[in-house]
Amino acid sequence: MSAFLKLLFRNRLAAIGAVVLGLILALVLVAPLLPLPDPDATATSERFARPFSEGHILGTDHLGRDLAARLVHGTRVSLAIGLFAALAAAVLGSAIGIAAGYFGGRTDNVIMRAIDMLMAFPYILLALAIVAALGPGLRNALIAVAAVNIPFFARNIRGITVGLAGREFVDAARLAGMGHTRIILSEILPNVLPVIVIGISTTVGWMILETAGLSFLGLGSQPPQADLGSMLGEARAALITAPHTSVVPGLMIFLIVMSINLLGDGVRDALDPRLKSGALARPRATTRVDRRGPVPEEPAKGLLDLQRLETQFHVGKRVYKAVNDVSLHVKPGECLGLIGESGSGKSVTALSVMGLVASPPGAITGGAVRHDGEDLLSLPYDALRRRRGEKVAYIFQDPLATLHPLYRIGEQMAEAIRVHHRISDREARARALELLRAVRIPNPESRLGNYPHEMSGGMRQRIGIAMALANDPEVLIADEPTTALDVTVQAQILALLDELRRERGLAILFITHDFGVVAQLCDRVAVMYAGRIVEQGPTEEILARPAHPYTARLIACVPELGEGKRELAAIPGLPPVVDSLPPGCAFAPRCDKAQEDCRKGAIDLAGTGTHDVRCLHPEVTP
């Protein structure tokens, strides 16, 4: 709770909202103690007194009633009615929504049909109909406003509940012997509660506006009782002659609603876990480059050469060193495997090459990425963009998420070519067909008109590959391209990639966590652990004689087919989090060969140049 408040008030706007609202609340709470005249006492001789006149600090209305007194009392009524309506709508709507979402099936169907029916009305017509039936009055206006807002809560909460009801922890609760009531109360409700609170905090302001609106129309509070809406409604006739009678209640509504909105937004942001890490920042067109040291000026070793690359994520005060002093190179026609576990920095390395790391929070803080000798990190945006897809192309992991859902396959492929080359529609289509044939897609003509969701995972990944090949790039960066696929499909995709590289002389940087895949496809392999390359060398040699204890133990962990039932090798402990790396070797805490010197200073990658290892006590000397 206190963490929530801290988070809430770190948001300056929310704090302002809270202060303003707090002042207004304090004012209406102490109202009975204030030396205010009777708000309903009329004095026609003093009608339309200007503000700051004798005895009436805000002036008087058309019946000579004191505006300040009416304002305070009216605010009290409006706030109470708005809050109460919001709570009533939230409780009833959420209960309906949870029931519909949790039980699903017929219950859901019937309830949601009824809700849809209510939402088929423009809301005020329903409210007007209710007031027409019950008669004008504050209580009836409240009922009408609450009633028209029930569908809003019911719908939202139902959506959340449907998602929760399908979650595995609900299944687990059923297996633990819980009944429906208990599951709803102890498993579902705590998880929807933040959403309900967000719903209330973002709609209270709206409900105050709506009740004020009904009063403004003369359907809410009845004379002589004041609320802010009726004050405005009564003042309307004298708008031109005595504008202050309108401005005073109008400004008050505005202040209340704005402070509630500010506070409500703050509550929403503080309760939404995605917003905590600042994740809703817009990623820039290219990763921010902020190199602290000099740009390495070593001669490039391959077509693509990463030199001492450093990429970090800055989240709040924490600095995650995702990629730390990584040097790699790929020659034409060569396939380099970059292997590591989740969080090792292998994907960030791959995305850093063409500046695709989301920024903020990512930033490249050191090193160079040379393509054909030229440092890509120093290029201005447009020059970098012209190389994306043209010289260096990417294939990503999940082909459903990485293709645009609303464009046809043909459009997406044509676009890949057209952002780099001026060609006609016919040529683009012909080229797309040719590419689809190259990746062995049956029926390519009909596939051009398909959308991604109409294809299987394997087919989508073939499209992804075809699109990457569209401009005959020199380098292909494949970021776990087969991880989301079934084994039989994975085998096809790997064979296809291997063939393409041999035919076209492509340089491939292949990111994976699977040693089996590396062994089959890659000429050389680099092993990453906690943001650093710990070993790199020819694939066969590393598989046969791993030098780094981590490589050796990781290979031993991978079960292979054909060895029968057995105990598996494991590495004790967990990989470190890259915002608090230990000094020295990051693997030392899990390593059985670690000694005192491993935990001291930085360790260099050393070896023959073809096979290097970052270890003081390697398994074998490369």
With beta carbons less than 8 A apart as the criterion, state whether 266 and 17 touch.
Answer: yes
In the complex with another protein, the residue whose CB is nearer, 173 or 423, is: 173
CB of 601: closest distance to another protein in angstroms? 25
In the complex with another protein, the residue whose CB is nearer, 46 or 59, is: 59
- Contacts of another protein in 163-202 (CB under 8 A): 167-169, 171-179, 182, 186-187, 190-191
CB of 481: closest distance to another protein in angstroms? 13
Q: How many residues does the chain have?
A: 622
CB of 565: closest distance to another protein in angstroms? 6
CB of 100: closest distance to another protein in angstroms? 17
Cα–Cα dist 56/49, whole Å: 8
Size of site (CB under 8 A) for another protein: 146
Nearest alpha-carbon partner for 511 in 500, 520, 502, 522: 522
Q: Does 209 bind another protein (CB under 8 A)?
A: yes
Distances (CA, A) of 117 to 88, 111, 114, 155, 547: 20, 10, 5, 12, 69
Find the binder of another protein among 420, 429, 545, 593 (CB under 8 A): 420
CB of 336: closest distance to another protein in angstroms? 16
In the complex with another protein, the residue whose CB is nearer, 103 or 123, is: 123
CA 369 to chain centre: 29
Find the binder of another protein among 329, 387, 460, 611 (CB under 8 A): 387
Q: Does 398 bind another protein (CB under 8 A)?
A: yes
Cα–Cα dist 393/88, whole Å: 56
For residue 439, the tally of other CB atoms under 10 A from its CB is 22
In the complex with another protein, the residue whose CB is nearer, 22 or 601, is: 22
| E-strand stretches of 332-488 | 335-339, 362-371, 374-375, 392-395, 475-479
Find the binder of another protein among 62, 318, 504, 513 (CB under 8 A): 513
Cα–Cα dist 231/248, whole Å: 9
Token digits for 448? 């051009």
CA 521 to chain centre: 34
| Stretch in the footprint of another protein (CB under 8 A) among 27-35, 423-431, 462-470, 530-538 | 462-470
In the complex with another protein, the residue whose CB is nearer, 36 or 419, is: 419
Nearest alpha-carbon partner for 73 in 58, 85, 88: 58
Find the binder of another protein among 20, 247, 319, 616 (CB under 8 A): 247
Q: Does 419 bind another protein (CB under 8 A)?
A: yes
- Contacts of another protein in 428-457 (CB under 8 A): 442, 451, 453, 456-457
Half-sphere exposure of 48 (CA within 13 A, CB side): 11
CB of 387: closest distance to another protein in angstroms? 7
Report the SS3 class of residue 344: coil
Find the binder of another protein among 1, 3, 33, 487 (CB under 8 A): 487
**AA letter at 205:** G
Cα–Cα dist 228/207, whole Å: 13
Nearest alpha-carbon partner for 532 in 611, 603, 483, 616: 603
In the complex with another protein, the residue whose CB is nearer, 29 or 176, is: 176
With beta carbons less than 8 A apart as the criterion, state whether 138 and 225 touch.
Answer: yes
| Stretch in the footprint of another protein (CB under 8 A) among 65-73, 94-102, 404-412, 606-614 | 404-412
Q: Does 240 bind another protein (CB under 8 A)?
A: yes
Site map (CB under 8 A) of another protein, residues 332-371, x = contact: ---------xx--------x--x-x-x-------------
CB neighbours of 240 closer than 8 A, spacing ≥ 6? none
CB of 414: closest distance to another protein in angstroms? 11
CB neighbours of 455 closer than 8 A, spacing ≥ 6? 409, 447, 463
Cα–Cα dist 266/366, whole Å: 36
CB of 216: closest distance to another protein in angstroms? 5
With beta carbons less than 8 A apart as the criterion, state whether 202 and 268 touch.
Answer: yes
Distances (CA, A) of 153 to 5, 44, 149, 428: 25, 46, 7, 49
CB of 401: closest distance to another protein in angstroms? 4
In the complex with another protein, the residue whose CB is nearer, 34 or 401, is: 401
For residue 85, the tally of other CB atoms under 10 A from its CB is 26
Q: Does 426 bind another protein (CB under 8 A)?
A: no
Structure-derived torsion over alpha carbons of residues 4, 9, 10, 15, reported in degrees to the nearest 10:
150
Q: Does 10 bind another protein (CB under 8 A)?
A: no
CB neighbours of 470 closer than 8 A, spacing ≥ 6? 389, 393, 413, 416, 417, 431, 432, 435
- Contacts of another protein in 287-326 (CB under 8 A): none
Instruction: State the alpha helices, DSSP H only, in 483-601.
Output: 487-504, 515-521, 539-544, 549-557
CB of 491: closest distance to another protein in angstroms? 4
CB of 364: closest distance to another protein in angstroms? 15
| Stretch in the footprint of another protein (CB under 8 A) among 46-54, 297-305, 485-493, 592-600 | 485-493
Q: Does 503 bind another protein (CB under 8 A)?
A: no
Distances (CA, A) of 33 to 30, 52, 112, 225: 5, 21, 48, 19
In the complex with another protein, the residue whose CB is nearer, 174 or 545, is: 174
With beta carbons less than 8 A apart as the criterion, state whether 395 and 481 touch.
Answer: yes
- Contacts of another protein in 535-574 (CB under 8 A): 543, 553-554, 557-572, 574
- Contacts of another protein in 115-154 (CB under 8 A): 116-126, 128-136
- Contacts of another protein in 82-111 (CB under 8 A): none
With beta carbons less than 8 A apart as the criterion, state whether 46 and 56 touch.
Answer: yes
Find the binder of another protein among 388, 447, 460, 548 (CB under 8 A): 388
Q: Does 620 bind another protein (CB under 8 A)?
A: no
CB of 210: closest distance to another protein in angstroms? 9
- What's the Rg (C-alpha) of the chain? 33
Nearest alpha-carbon partner for 363 in 315, 326, 406: 315
Find the binder of another protein among 389, 481, 531, 618 (CB under 8 A): 389
Q: Does 514 bind another protein (CB under 8 A)?
A: yes
CB of 11: closest distance to another protein in angstroms? 13
- Contacts of another protein in 23-42 (CB under 8 A): none
Find the binder of another protein among 515, 528, 612, 615 (CB under 8 A): 515
CB of 235: closest distance to another protein in angstroms? 8
Q: Does 250 bind another protein (CB under 8 A)?
A: yes
